[in-house]
């Protein structure tokens, strides 16, 4: 067996491919092997904070829905706490991790969660409430990181250092999810455009 | 972590991702990337708690057969195909093993057919094979699972494109910025240099890093062969000084 000197540089990314659901969202393709999997429901009925739904479609450069996309979300709880040992603000009410599969027919994904509180940024500056998103699919070679901000947080968004780092105000808007009500419950619409005139801002984090 | 705390150092920001190590977004030889690749530059973001934290998983979330793809979908017996162990370490770029890291895998069966609504390849499904599994790394960052070696399969890219045998890997690490999905290939597979997806990676050494080695020492005699696949996630700085990340 040939031996190798360990190469301590990050393992290279590859596309998740068209069958990513088997591994990440097995129930979406009718496989019931794993008992407990991550779903698109981040909240429990008794979770403190405002319960919200986020919905949207990932579009390709031709405006077509990406029906095989899988999205992941990572966020703080309603008090701005992350469920992670390095967050100094204490234990969080939710784990804050969600996973969404686009609908095979319509391309719509949805996330049921709680609106996060503001979290500290660098140098003591607070960040506006946001949810980190990660998108993988066939044709995407390296998972795409972006952030969702909330349309009803005008003041905090205006002071957010990450949004401010995006030069173009038009491009900042691609990260703002629009608040509406459906059946009296808050719904945020967050469409993602992989390419073209309305291209979403993606981050190198 | 323990080592860092003992020496008084604190973990800091993660190293920037070396984008020359990874495939670019736009790789026209892989046709689907053409309309699914951003055309504007990525916006570099100074890491905050949002990027330096990530989901933590526990053993109580895993079932006893989650790491055994030979048994976890078995209905009437074992699946058909080459029985293998796949194992290795997950470490960071500093060479530290990463404990408690969730690894999820998915793959085709021995004939190259996926158990998925959208796979219409004529090779049959195996009634005893699901093709998904997961495990958590141990205290040293070590993982292992047992499966059937997947077959190559055709896909609609050019008129005669075939994927090399591969297993998809999803790895979490400790932070959302370490999140990675990749593919394991098998040593000696002549389809690797022909594959438009493997060849999206510009650096041949990085493709070599995705190629699992036959590992006779880990084989179970008269039972199954073994392949070794080590995974490296982004490393991080450590500092003796308080930083201002947390707002102090």
Nearest CA in chain B to A84: B53
Residue B60 included in any domain: no
Q: Looking at B91-160, list the stretches that DSSP marks H as alpha helix, in order from N- to C-terminal side.
A: none
CB–CB contact B51 A1 (8 Å) = no
* pLDDT confidence bin for B3, thresholds 50/70/90: very low
pTM: 0.95
- Segment B57-81 shows an average pLDDT of 95
* Within a domain: B120: yes
Rounded-to-integer distance, Cα A26 and Cα A105, Å: 17
Per-residue confidence band for B245, with pLDDT thresholds at 50, 70 and 90: low
Cα–Cα distance for residue pair A120/A148, rounded to 1 Å: 16
DSSP letters for B154-174: EESSSTTEEEPSEEEEEE--S
- Chain A residues with CB-CB distance to B177 below 8 A: 145, 205
Instruction: Examine residue B172 and state whether it is found in any structural domain, yes or no.
Output: yes
Q: How far is A30 from chain B (nearest CA, A)?
A: 8
A120 touches chain B (CB under 8 A): yes
**A20/A140 Cα distance (integer angstroms):** 12
Closest of A148, A178, A162, A153 to residue A71, by C-alpha = A148
Confidence of residue B240 (pLDDT cuts 50, 70, 90): low
Q: Which residues are within 8 A (CB) of A59 and not within 5 positions of it... i.e. 6 or more apart?
A: A65, A66, A191, A192, A193, A194, A198
User: In a structure prediction context, what are the per-residue pLDDT tens digits for chain A, which is 205 residues long?
Assistant: 455 556 799 999 999 999 999 999 998 888 888 877 899 999 999 999 999 999 999 999 999 999 999 999 999 999 999 999 999 998 999 999 999 999 999 999 999 999 999 999 998 899 999 999 999 999 999 999 999 999 999 999 999 999 999 989 999 999 999 999 999 999 999 999 999 999 999 999 9
What is the pLDDT confidence band of residue B8, given thresholds at 50, 70 and 90? low
The proportion of chain B whose per-residue pLDDT surpasses 70, expressed as a percent, equals 93
Under the banding of pLDDT at 50, 70 and 90, the label for residue B242 is low
Asked whether residue B157 is assigned to any structural domain, the reply reads: yes
pLDDT in tens, B109-144: 999 999 999 999 999 999 999 999 999 999 999 999
pLDDT band at B238 (very low <50, low <70, confident <90, very high): confident
- State the DSSP string of A102-119: --TTT-EEEEEEEPPPPE
Q: What's the pLDDT band for B248 if we cut at 50, 70, 90?
A: very low
pLDDT digits (tens, 9 = 90+) for B191-212: 999 999 999 999 999 999 999 9
Residue B99: give the domain boundaries: 66-244
Average pLDDT over all residues of chain B: 93
CB B182 within 8 A of CB A14: yes
What pLDDT, in 10s, does the model give residues A153-198?
999 999 999 999 998 999 999 999 999 999 999 999 999 999 999 9
Q: Which residues of B touch A127 (CB under 8 A)?
A: 48, 50
Computed from CA positions of residues A124, A125, A127, A128, in that sequence, does the dihedral angle turn out positive or negative?
positive
Reply yes or no on whether the pLDDT at B105 is more than 80.
Answer: yes
Angstrom distances, CA of residue B54 to CA of A150, A156, B29: 21, 23, 34
- CATH number of the domain at B189, please: 2.60.130.10
Q: Identify the CA nearest to A41 among candidates A110, A107, A88.
A: A110
Whether B236 maps to a domain, the answer reads yes
Instruction: Please list every residue in chain A whose beta carbon sits closer than 8 Å to the beta carbon of residue B65.
Output: 33
pLDDT in tens, B207-218: 999 999 999 999
Taking 70 as the threshold, does the pLDDT of residue B229 lie above it?
Answer: yes
Burial class (CB in 10 A: 0-12, 13-18, 19+), A77: buried
Active-site residue B87, yes or no? no
Chain centroid to Cα B19, Å, comes to 18
Interchain CB distance below 8 Å, A13 and B23 = yes
Count the domains in chain B: 1
Q: Which residues pair with A177 in a beta bridge?
A: A150
**CATH 2.60.130.10 correct for A19-193:** yes
Give a yes or no: residue B70 inside a domain. Answer: yes
Half-sphere exposure of residue A174, counting CA atoms within 13 Å on the CB side?
21
Domain ranges of chain A: 19-193
> Is B176 a domain residue?
yes
């Amino acid at each position: 067996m040939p031996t190798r000197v360990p190469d301590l540089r990050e393992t290279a990314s590859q596309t998740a491919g068209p069958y990513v659901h088997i591994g990440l969202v097995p129930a979406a393709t009718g496989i019931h092997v794993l008992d407990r999997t991550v779903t698109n429901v981040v909240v429990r009925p008794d979770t403190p904070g405002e319960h919200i739904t986020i919905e949207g479609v990932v579009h390709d450069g031709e405006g077509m829905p990406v029906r095989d996309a899988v999205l992941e979300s990572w966020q703080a709880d309603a008090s701005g706490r992350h469920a992670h040992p390095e967050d100094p603000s204490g234990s969080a009410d939710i784990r804050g991790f969600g996973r969404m599969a686009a609908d095979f027919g319509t391309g719509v994904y949805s996330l049921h969660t709680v609106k996060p509180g503001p979290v500290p940024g660098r140098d003591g500056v607070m960040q506006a409430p946001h949810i980190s998103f990660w998108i993988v699919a066939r044709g995407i070679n390296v998972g795409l990181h972006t952030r969702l901000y909330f349309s009803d947080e005008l003041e905090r968004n205006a002071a957010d250092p990450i949004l401010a780092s995006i030069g173009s105000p038009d491009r900042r808007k691609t990260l703002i999810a629009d608040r509406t009500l459906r059946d009296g419950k808050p719904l945020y619409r967050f469409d993602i455009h992989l390419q073209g005139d309305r291209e979403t801002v993606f981050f190198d984090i | 972590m323990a080592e860092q705390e003992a020496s008084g150092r604190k973990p800091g920001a993660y190293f920037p991702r070396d984008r020359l190590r990874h495939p670019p977004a736009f790789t026209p030889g892989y046709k689907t990337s053409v309309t699914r690749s951003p055309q504007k530059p990525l916006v570099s973001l100074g890491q905050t708690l949002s990027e330096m934290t990530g989901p933590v998983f526990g053993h109580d979330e895993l079932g006893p057969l989650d790491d055994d793809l030979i048994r976890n979908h078995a209905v009437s017996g074992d699946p058909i195909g080459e029985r293998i162990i796949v194992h290795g370490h997950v470490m960071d770029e500093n060479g530290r093993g990463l404990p408690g890291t969730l690894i999820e895998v998915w793959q085709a069966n021995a004939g190259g057919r996926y158990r998925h609504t959208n796979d219409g390849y004529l090779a049959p499904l195996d009634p005893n094979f699901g093709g998904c599994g997961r495990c958590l790394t141990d205290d040293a960052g070590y993982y292992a699972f047992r499966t059937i070696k997947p077959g190559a399969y055709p896909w609609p890219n050019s008129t005669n494109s075939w994927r090399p045998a591969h297993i998809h890997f999803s790895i979490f690490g400790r932070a959302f910025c370490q999140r990675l999905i990749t593919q394991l290939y098998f040593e000696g597979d002549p389809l690797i240099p022909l594959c438009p997806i493997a060849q999206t990676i510009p650096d041949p050494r990085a493709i070599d890093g995705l190629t699992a080695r036959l590992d006779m020492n880990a084989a179970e005699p008269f039972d199954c062969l073994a392949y070794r696949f080590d995974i490296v996630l982004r490393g991080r700085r450590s500092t003796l000084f308080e930083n201002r990340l947390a707002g102090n």
